[in-house]
Amino acid sequence: MSADEPTPARHRLEIEFCQACKFGGRAFFLARELFDQRPDLADEIVLIPSSGGAFTIRFDGSVVWDYKEQGGFPEPKQVREAILLLRGEPPTPPRHA
């Protein structure tokens, strides 16, 4: 890449989780599943230990999922599809049996 070419945008996925609530396992699971399914989804996946019952997922600063608002944990597919929507990409096609 030459100096004249713009630097491609890097996408960041953040998973903030409450340590006191023992949400770390869920955060690690979700990060691993998303990476295994779609390694191209984000350039970096960051786990952020927190408190206060937090389990918030952000993609490029936009909240994709908030445990307190949605009332529970997301499935990897829900997060993946929300990120694809934010990126302006088509949803994952359904699998055929």
Work out the pLDDT band at 95, boundaries 50, 70, 90. Answer: confident
- pTM listed for this prediction: 0.85
Q: What is the three-class DSSP state of 73?
A: coil
Is residue 70 classed as helix, strand or coil in its secondary structure?
helix
Helix (H) or strand (E) segment spanning residue 83: helix 76-86
Contact 24, 17 (CB under 8 A): yes
Find where tokens 């699998």 sit.
Answer: 95
Question: In this model, does residue 2 exceed pLDDT 60?
Answer: no
Question: Can you give the pLDDT at residue 46?
Answer: 97
What is the pLDDT at residue 90?
85
93 pLDDT exceeds 80?
Answer: no
The mean pLDDT value for 1-8 works out to 63
CA angle 24, 92, 48 (to 5 degrees): 20
Contact by Cβ (8 Å): 66, 56: yes
Transcribe 4-39 into DSSP letters. TSPPPPPPEEEEEEETTTT-HHHHHHHHHHHHHH-T
- pLDDT of amino acid 96: 64
Which structural domains are found in the chain, ordered by start? 12-86 (3.40.30.10)
